[in-house]
Structure 1
Amino acid sequence: MIARLIADKLRASLSRPVIVENVVGAGGRLVLENMMRRPANGSVFTLTPSGMLTISPNLYSKLLYNPLRDFIPVSGVCTYSYSLVVGPGTTARSLEEFLGWCKANPSKASYGVPALGAATHFLGWLLSQASGTPLTVVPYKGGPQLTQAVLGGEIASAINLVSNFRGLHASGRLRVLAISQSERSPRLPDVPTFAELGYKDCVVEEFMCFVARIGTPATAVTAVADGVRRALGSKDVRDALLAQEFDPAPVAGATVGDWINSGYARWGNVVKASGFKPED
């Protein structure tokens, strides 16, 4: 959705065709590996979530790319965060009640995630460590299956994008207990942040950005960066992003580079401390 929103604006600002090529597989890593096989001539730019640049490289030893060496950060697009939600599997109505319930019911103390090895997985681990509450991660095959599992009481809690649960929270079918961004969302004003509840280590704000292969002509990078920033200044694009709990972030490539570097270092420490090792 985001790529097509931006592409529609880029066609006009660049006065040239802009083709959106969806590359799926390997948990999203394949899109960056695919770009490494393409020429660095200014014809290929990749929109990627930050986890592919900050978490995956700390997990997978056989990646075909190094995020600190192989890419030029072009422009930020948006930031986003995650929420911890509970359903009929527990009566908890606050984070502290939920953690207390988990300690009293250790066999049920678990949280579901769309997949292992992503920010949702490690956010739950950070909460477990910070609160001293053993929590078992349970992977599902994507967001829809996870949502159905927590709605049906198959699992007590789940962690996923804020946008996945906002409507269900509003309807009362699920209860969002906390969100991982640094400040409350104006679209979920009744939901506290992990930080304000005392869990500052659980502040997790991810981002989406455009990158290009190292060696891409500076003129092409500048043209796309300018086009992306203009697109993010359009009311229709901003409104569409905000409706899905994505906050527009038209920051320069240098800032994106700083985000990548700090995220890579942070998640490297978390991955190592967690002891999690995926199958390559």
Structure 2
Amino acid sequence: MTSFSISRRRALVVAGLAAALATSALAETYPARPLTLIVPGPAGGTPDIVARQVGQQLRSALGQSVIVENRAGASGNIGVSAAARAAPDGYTLLMGFAQTMAMNPVVFKKLPYDPVADFVPIARLVEFELALTVPASVPATNMAELLAWLKAHADKSAFGSFGAGTPSQFAGEMFNRKAGLKMVHVPYKGSAPLVTDLIGGQVQLGFVVPQVAMPHVKNGTLRIIAVTGAHRDPSMPSVPTMKELGYENVVAGGWYGLFAPKGTPADVVARLEKAVAQAMKSPELTKFMAEQDLSPAYQGGRDFAAFQQSEIARWRAVAAQTHFKAEE
């Protein structure tokens, strides 16, 4: 073996040891400054509110503040792309949700990021269901009455969603198919305009986040026929699930979780995972989740990664069943 080869090998070993020591040092001092948590949605939205609440609890667990940075636009792609490009040092995290980390690969033919290859899952936080909601102008109080009315008004029935390619749309498409209906899909840019048009009767039903619908249910302008969760919602125990009513495939909803850029040191990811687990046990966060009608659904990084993969596969199957066409 030549002296050059030996020197090169030694150099590589030294470089490897230096990198390992640097990573170890980072983990020991982490976090040494405030963290940034990117939310790929607008301020005031549910993901933003959850991020701020979780950030407050992480501050207690980590000893550093968590600054929420909203990067809305392009169905979340702008914010997620920014997080993917961030330095993998544990100081920039992403609040990912079902649409950005499991559904966008189905919705778009091309993405500026890879939700699996570009990120390390830290922990899943919460999940939520949707509610099949109708306006007071639709004279139905149960599924049988709703189906009868929709079939009698097939020429002017439409369902709304809070966005193209969201769980709200796919729930409607699955219901459409299973019930033998041909309702037109009307996508909205968020829950607020969807609820406004539901109340006004511009669309005849929509799959809405229960928390958003409830104030209008209480004042009589909206009515919830069923929920898409696997179990009945404790806050409205008399409302059946879609599964109970024979719509086994209409089990849809969403979730939020924390991710770090790929390449973030394993020790740092483990530190974050432990901090999130601690934060999720706080009475303040538990109370907040209940008030927002969100279900705590903590999963550590390994289980969350497997869950994310299963979600991508599930939504690909749903897209195929409903003949969903991916956007360019």
TM-score, normalization by structure 2? 0.82
Secondary structure class of the residue paired with 1:75: strand
Number of residue pairs matched by the alignment: 280
What are the superposed Cα offsets for residues 87-118 of structure 1, whole Å, 9 maximum, x if unpaired?
Answer: 13310111221122111111222111121111
Question: Structure 1 segments of 4 or more deviating over 4 A?
Answer: none
Q: Is the 8 A contact 2:109 2:326 kept in 1?
A: no
Equivalence for 1:169? 217
Which of 147, 153, 156 is matched with 2:195 structurally?
147
**Kept after mapping to 1: 8 A contact 2:289/2:296:** yes
Could you list the per-position Cα deviations for residues 176-226 of structure 1 after superposition, in whole angstroms to 9, with x for gaps in the alignment?
001100000111112110001111100114211111122101121111111
What are the within-5 Å matches in structure 2 for residues 88-167 of structure 1?
88-167=136-215
Is 2:302 aligned against 1:254? yes
CA distance in 2, matches of 1:240, 1:61: 37
Q: What amino acid is aligned across from residue 159 of structure 1 in structure 2?
A: F
Match of 2:263 among 210, 215, 218: 215
| Higher Cα Rg, which structure | 2
Q: Once superposed, what is the RMSD of the aligned Cα atoms? A: 1.4
- The percent of aligned pairs where both chains have the same amino acid is 29
1:110 alignment partner AA = A
Which blocks of at least 5 consecutive residues in structure 2 are unaligned?
1-48
Distance between the aligned counterparts of 2:218 and 2:237, measured in 1? 11
Alignment check: 8 A CA contact 1:59 1:117 kept: yes
Residue of structure 2 equivalent to 1:69: 117
Q: 2:278 — aligned with what?
A: 230
The letter of the residue matching 2:299 is V
Q: Counterpart in 1 of 2:69? A: 21
Higher relative contact order (CA 8 A, sep 6+): 1
Alpha-carbon displacement from aligned partner over 1:212-243 (angstroms, at most 9, x marks no partner): 12210112111111111111111111111121
Change (3 A) 1:205 1:159: closer
Residue type of the alignment partner of 2:94:
T
Q: Note the C-alpha offset of 1:278.
A: 4.9
Whole-angstrom distance in 2 between the partners of 1:160 and 1:150: 10
Q: Which residue of 77, 85, 91 corresponds with 1:37?
A: 85
1:190 equivalent in structure 2: 238
CA shift, 1:253, in A, is: 1.3
